[in-house]
A and B are shown apart, each in its own frame.
Chain A
Amino acid sequence: MRGIQLPLSKTQKVRLQKTLEQLESLSSKVNSDASVIIADSIPVNHEDGVLKGHGTADLNGEVVATLCGVVERVNKLVYVRALRSRYKPEVGDIVIGRVAEVAQKRWRLDINFNQDAVLMLSSMNMPDGVQRRRTALDELNMRCIFEENDVVCAEVRGFQHDGLHLQARSRKYGKLNRGQLLTVPPYLVKRQKQHFHHLEEFGVDLILGCNGFIWVGEHIEAKDDMVEDQVSQSDPQVLLHNSASLEEQEKNYTILDIRKYICRAANAVRVLSVLGFNITLEIIKGIIDLSLSMNLDIHEMLGSEFCVLVAEKEAERRSSNKKKR
């Protein structure tokens, strides 16, 4: 059993235990006994015909699991959804990655998949916002856009012959700075319509990458600066100049309050990941509000008392959600 590793006092232990039991009772009615582990046989009705999906194998006519996870059935298809594993990309996912290598016409990004993802120079918008053919000069200046260890946000484009390709064809994608990158197990992030969030009351941007990388940073206004003077912009000299001015901008300070809010939001995500709860905007906001209403310091959010409290709140929220239905 994966224990929650926190220094808990006796009462806290009892409270946490009780909360976890409550959570168990809440979910057990939804899907009971769907959890399997390696080499468990999965009961299927052979008369209907079965399609064996991921995480299953055939053993003497029986369908057995090859992973630990939850059995899912879609019509004839039977598969096992693994919980803790590396990220499995799907087309259109929004992911956050770290540049591992700058190669010919491409960046290699570590996105917690079992191989590095490829972001081609041609499948991203230039920082100056101009649409044009990428020249050899652009290729030489690739490090002006992303360097090694930069944090980049992009979208999964699909598998090509040479691996997983990403694209970043919009203003909202690109390099992320002035914030924190958090890594959580990917199964905690659910695919949703919206992965970019702006917490207006705090001036904080939150990006929930499907690969379990979560970005919390200062809010940046997505400005649509299609530059008028196209001739000068296509000049690489200007591009260099442009990046220099970006660096100047970087020197601009983030206000202390916003930095505090960034830390608060980051700690909220950390608490959720420790507890193994689903990470969504609603819940993160709830935790930030809870910490603010209790007048807690940022560091106190990682203490065991707050953790237990979050668990209790979450149990309350889920049970009230259930009653509404």
Chain B
Amino acid sequence: MRQIRAEIGAVSKADGSAMFEMGNTKVIAAVYGPREVQNRSQISNHALVRCEYSMANFSTGDRMRKSKGDRRSTEISLVIRQTMEASILTHLLPRSQLLNLQIDIYVQVLQADGGTRSACINAATLALADAGIPMRDLVTSCSAGYLNSTNLNYVEDSAGGPDVTLGILPKLDKVTLLQPLSIFFQVLLSVIGRESGGVEAVIPLLPSKAMDSKLPIDILENVMQLAIEGCKAIANYIREILLENTKQLEYRRGV
């Protein structure tokens, strides 16, 4: 497990914002809203959650110019959006024909060193909590790989070993994100979930992504176990930070 660090309030103009670090990976997230839908054509019958993921040009070793809407960032935006949407109580936000609300989440990777997607999810959770948006539970995420360590860095990640990224709701003991996800995985999920730490798997939410490499079942179990432990450790840390923040805001304000 790499060292984690989080800070609330990184963007002053946003309704909620946070910075999250996992080892050398550093991410900031900003949340705007709930606010009225700006694009009227997208009207739906529940509050809209939008997410934009971007990676700073200077975030990786080789300075590449990436176009804004490349496949990777679109995919990660979708992953983050769906993971957060599962936790946000969208039904509490008023909706009618005249009014539609949206919540915008912007995540920016400042330094990428593996596990950006989990770092982004953790940062987004913190930012949403800071913005005072009602949620079922905190979402925490962690990746684990067959180098027998959680939270892989870039070198470990690019070594080509199999790895999974897991997102859980720690209080409800539910899995909201598991990547990569193949049909084979879906079958296994419920079995493994129950055996390792009593985490109940809910319906897989995400489209499948091709597995990079093969992974035997017994090792998968270990890897999952590691990822769950990682998620729980991160959840504890995030809870501490949030509680400290809430207390501070309250006592600083005075009566």
A163 to B99 Cα, complex, angstroms: 8
Q: Bin the interface of chain A by size.
A: 35 or more
Q: Are A38 and B34 in contact (CB under 8 A)?
A: no
Q: Which residues of A are found within 8 Å of B248, using beta-carbon distances?
A: 1-2, 20, 24, 276
B246 & A20 in contact (Cβ 8 Å cutoff):
no
Check B136 against A2 for contact (C-beta < 8 Å).
Answer: no
From 17 to 39 in chain B, residues with beta carbon under 8 angstroms from any chain A beta carbon are 33-36
Count of chain B residues with a beta carbon within 8 Å of a chain A beta carbon: 44
> Which label, helix, strand, loop or mixed, suits the secondary structure of the B interface?
mixed
A83 contacts B171, C-beta separation under 8 Å:
no
Q: Please state if B101 and A35 are interface contacts (CB–CB under 8 Å).
A: no
Q: How many Cβ-Cβ contacts under 8 Å join chain A to chain B?
A: 130
Complex Cα distance, B95 from A163, in Å, reads 11
Counting chain A CB atoms within 10 Å of each CB, the highest count among B35, B134, B242 belongs to: B134
Is residue B124 within 8 Å, beta carbon to beta carbon, of the partner chain?
no
For B251, list chain A residues within 8 Å (CB).
23-24, 26-28
List the A residue with the shortest CB-CB distance to B98: A162
Residues of chain B in range 130-159 having any CB-CB distance to chain A below 8 Å: 130-138
**Which stretch of B7-15, B65-73, B110-118 is in the interface?**
B7-15
Contact of B242 among A30, A37, A64, A275 (CB under 8 A): A37
Instruction: Give the contacts of A278-324 with B (CB-CB under 8 A).
Output: 278, 314, 318
CB-based closest 8 A-B pairs = A85-B132, A27-B251, A39-B171, A2-B9, A82-B132, A66-B134, A276-B252, A114-B34
User: B residues bordering A, Cβ < 8 Å?
Assistant: 7-9, 15-16, 33-36, 89, 92-93, 98-99, 101, 129-138, 170-172, 239, 241-255
Which residues of A are at the interface with B, using a C-beta cutoff of 8 A?
Answer: 1-3, 5, 20, 23-24, 26-28, 30, 34-39, 55, 57, 59, 64, 66-70, 82-86, 114-116, 162-163, 187-188, 275-278, 314, 318
Could you name 7 residue pairs across A and B whose Cβ atoms are closer than 8 Å?
A: A23-B252, A68-B129, A68-B130, A83-B246, A114-B35, A115-B99, A187-B249
